[in-house]
Amino acid sequence: MPFECRGCWHVWEEDYVVRRSEDDHGNEGEVWLRAGLRVPPPSSGALCPHCGCEHATTFPDGYLARHPELIPPAEPVVPDATPLLSPVPRPLY
């Protein structure tokens, strides 16, 4: 899920898994998992890894695919089933 910091406009992505669950009273809830650990929903305050500001907003999925210029150029290589956007260097001639 893409995030954008409202403080420094840093854009980053974090992978969350959202599970819908019902408790014993039939109340539907959402459980947010990140790397297998339960975490608070990012809507309640995602921390910007750049400036630590808590006022981060989320993008709809696919937003960064339409705005590849927002993706930092140097990203760690993570094995992923989804195809990566790899800019092809243009020939110089």
Q: Which residues contact 37 (CB under 8 A, 6 or more apart)?
A: none
The answer to the question of residue 7 lying near Zn ion (CB under 5 A) is yes
Interaction pattern, residues 13-52, with Zn ion; x per rule: CB under 5 A:
-----------------------------------x-xx-
Backbone φ, ψ for residue 13 (5° rounding): -125, 140
**Nearer Cβ to Zn ion, position 19 or 55?**
55
**Amino acid of residue 36:** G
Please say whether the beta carbons of 77 and 32 come within 8 A.
no
Of 1, 2, 5, 12, the one binding Zn ion by CB under 5 A: 5
**Nearer Cβ to Zn ion, position 34 or 50?**
50
Determine the 3-state secondary structure of 29 from DSSP.
Answer: strand
**Chain contacts with Zn ion (rule: CB under 5 A):** 5, 7-8, 10, 48, 50-51, 53
